[in-house]
Structure 1
């Protein structure tokens, strides 16, 4: 999905993504909803794939800083004012094959989201400014991952709510922290706090919230001193193994997840949401 772009073409294109380009070629990409923390809905999900395509196609930038806004990186459900998911997702209201085709479209966007992040051709610094419990693979695909002290990582949108965690979580977490830790995290809905994420090797630094973005800019200004082709080819080196991992398993995971959608809580499976403390014994009431 990547094509040649320039900053002026996408600077104001997306309602949920704010861009700032400095004179040294450092691009800041901030997720937000109406100036606050990002609310995940289908539009923000799909637009993120397109936004990363534009960033990946911009040959003028030299470093990318990717972050959120406000208290959370993206720990919000979308579409309803109270933050709860809708009573029924759109695809369950569609008769015949329309629902299946809508699910296929969402899987298509998800593949493009991951591929477009990995196609960003410059070093990517992820500054996780707070809780990240949906699509954590996006910031974790950065070359340098920073986290605020109050950040945590969690996959609430899949297994804890009755879905197969097949749209990227099943690839990124084993890649970063090993199979046993990844399976435990995804099956139990564990909140992985910033310091534990540091000890697991998922993030590089943990900082006070008010120092996070300054640290990202400082690192970016050090990186941008290197020649442009050195920056681009180094990013290519660092993403190669991740590209192979996602190529091998993303389509497989999306197929499993889509097939099991009809049993997805609360629209058919009758499963309960994750309403216990994250550190409670697994499977306890």
Structure 2
């Protein structure tokens, strides 16, 4: 349910469960963590995370939530592995992003999204807590009040508002999403690894 493709020093990690809106299971999150954690030593310099179909991810698989997935540390392992990647990470959001799947996108260096994407994290309504690292990352991107809009007021925001808030960097037509991500990756792929890692460290 996670497809990983290496193109030279570029690794594409694709959520591949379109029939279930790419809802995340423990196995999928573990696979994302492994793909990100092993990338740099394997010679990968850029990660692109995307999804199959018209939804990036509906969040946690509901059946898995009933089995305790919402409190599983695998969420933090996945987002932490992406955040700790020394190169460039890009979330190419092919559609709506919901719930715990936010952590994967928030951990990336850059986020681009298709025009129809919506963003929401309904933890208040569902009686859950967000994953531990997600609020801090969200606040750094959009500020505390807007983070509260999403986490506490249950706001669902569209791509245009997400761009205005700084949650995403660009809105891209669906047919150009991966091409745009590849163009954003070009300089990082051509740089010396130590140069790339140094600049990444300076921009934290």
TM-score bin, normalised by smaller chain: 0.7 to 0.9
The answer as to whether partners of 1:147 and 1:212 remain within 8 angstroms in 2 is yes
Other structure's SS at 2:155 match: coil
Q: TM-score scaled by structure 2?
A: 0.87
Alignment equivalent of 1:33, drawn from 12, 17, 27: 17
Deviation string, structure 1 residues 139-192 (Cα, Å, up to 9, x no partner)? 122222111111121113x21211122433322211111111111211122112
Shift of residue 238, structure 1, vs aligned partner: 2.8
DSSP 3-state at the match of 1:114: helix
Unaligned runs of 5+ in 2: none
Task: For 2:168 and 2:18, locate their aligned partners in 1 and report how far apart those are by CA, in whole Å.
Answer: 28
Moved beyond 6 Å, runs of 4+: none
Structure 1, unmatched stretches of 5+, are: 1-15, 79-84, 92-101, 240-285
Once the two structures are TM-superposed, the CA of residue 34 in structure 1 deviates from its matched residue by 6.8
Q: Distance in 2 between matches of 1:147 and 1:103?
A: 25
Tell me the SS of whatever aligns to 2:76: helix
Matched with 1:138 is: 104
Q: Equivalent residue for 1:53?
A: 37
Identify the structure with the greater strand proportion. Answer: 2
Change (3 A) 1:163 1:210: same
How far apart are the structure 1 equivalents of 2:107 and 2:12? 16
Of structures 1 and 2, the larger Rg is shown by 1
Residue 220 (structure 1) aligns with: 185
Partner of 1:210: 175
- TM-score, normalised by the number of residues in structure 1: 0.64
Instruction: Confirm or deny: 8 A CA contact 1:36 1:70 kept in the other structure.
Output: no
What is the aligned partner in structure 2 of residue 192 from structure 1? 157
* Equivalent residue pairs, number: 203
What CA RMSD, in Å, does the superposition of the two structures yield over aligned residues? 2.4
Deviation for aligned residue 1:211:
1.1
